[in-house]
Amino acid sequence: MTIDEDQNASDGKSQLTLQFSSGEIKNQNYVKFTEKEKVTCNGASLAFVDPAYTARVGISGHSYTCQYFWNGNSIAFGVSARTDLSPVFVLVTADHKFTMNYNPDPGNDCHVEVDAVDGSQTISGPSELENGNGVYSGSDISSLNGPGTLVMTRTCESRPDSNFNALQVTYKSIAKIDVTWYPPAAKSS
């Protein structure tokens, strides 16, 4: 299961993708339901888009609850929503690196990274394991100039308990803030 949460999305929904596979086939595979099976998440039906089931889904009760239905039976599983990132650009240091504050997601093995973008280039910051302090230290941005964005991405991997043989969840949260980049002042001699 993949959850792509764009925290700036105007519809407030996330892209959920579920891919089913068979353990009876050793090679990587996917399953397309051919009978009356269906999958829903928070009440939204997921459509098959080769090779997975997908839909834009809103959060309900701070979670995503999905159900697989077949022959009058069902299996339900849920994934808790992550903390909103709510990034805030703090400062640029003397060595032209930036710092951001954000809301960490405590108790989870999540990585955070930030891309700094202007009209012509992207500078990708390091991927850091969240440590709970809500501070991200980015890369040298001295070459950026003009209107741009900071794009913060948190990626969390988990294997929640379920009635499936295995359920792997990748939860990606993205938040963007608009900025204007100013190149460092030239040093006079």
Q: What is the DSSP code (8-state) at residue 130?
A: -
The Cα–Cα gap between 6 and 149 comes to 14
169: in domain: no
105 and 73 in a common domain: no
Amino acid 148: pLDDT: 96
Q: Are residues 93 and 126 in the same domain?
A: yes
The reported pLDDT for the residue numbered 26 is 62
Whole-structure pTM value: 0.87
The per-residue pLDDT for 108 is 74
Q: Give yes or no: residues 10 and 59 share one domain.
A: yes
Q: Are residues 14 and 38 in the same domain?
A: yes
Residue 188: per-residue pLDDT:
47
Query: CA of 65: how far to CAs of 53, 62, 100, 165, in Å?
Result: 15, 10, 32, 18
Q: Do 10 and 71 lie in a common domain? A: yes
162 within a domain of the structure (yes/no): no
Pick from 31, 63, 80: which residue ends a domain? Answer: 80
Give a yes or no: residue 41 inside a domain.
yes
Report the b/e string of 46-77 with b at 16+ CB within 10 A: beeeeebbbbebebeeeebebebeeeeeeeeb
Q: What is the pLDDT of residues 86-130, one digit of tens each?
A: 999 988 888 899 999 999 987 778 999 999 999 999 999 999 999
Q: Which domain holds residue 38?
A: 2-80
Do 94 and 76 lie in one domain? The reply is no
Q: What is the largest CA-CA distance in the chain?
A: 80
Clarify whether residues 145 and 101 are in a common domain: yes
How many folded domains does the chain comprise?
A: 2
DSSP secondary structure letter of residue 81? P
pLDDT at 44: 95
CA-based R_g, the chain, Å = 20
Boundary residue ending a domain (53, 80, 107): 80
In a shared domain, residues 10 and 61: yes
10-residue mean pLDDT series, the chain (189 residues): 94 91 61 79 90 92 92 90 94 88 86 96 94 92 95 92 80 96 68
Does 124 reside within a domain? yes
Is 92 a member of any domain? yes
Q: Is residue 115 part of a domain?
A: yes
pLDDT of residue 36: 81
Are 68 and 96 in a shared domain? no
Q: Which of 59, 80, 101 is the last residue of a domain?
A: 80
Whether residue 59 lies inside any domain: the answer is yes
**33 and 64 together in one domain:** yes
| Residues paired with 122 in a beta bridge | 117
- State the SS3 of 10-77: CCCEEEEEECCCCCCCCCCCCCCCCCCCEEEECCEECEEECCEEEEEEECECCEEEEEEEECCEEEEE
Would 165 be classed as within a structural domain? no
Q: Which residue has the tokens 């269906």?
A: 38
Which helix (DSSP H) or strand (DSSP E) does residue 116 occupy? Answer: strand 110-117
Regarding whether 66 and 29 lie in a shared domain, the answer is: yes
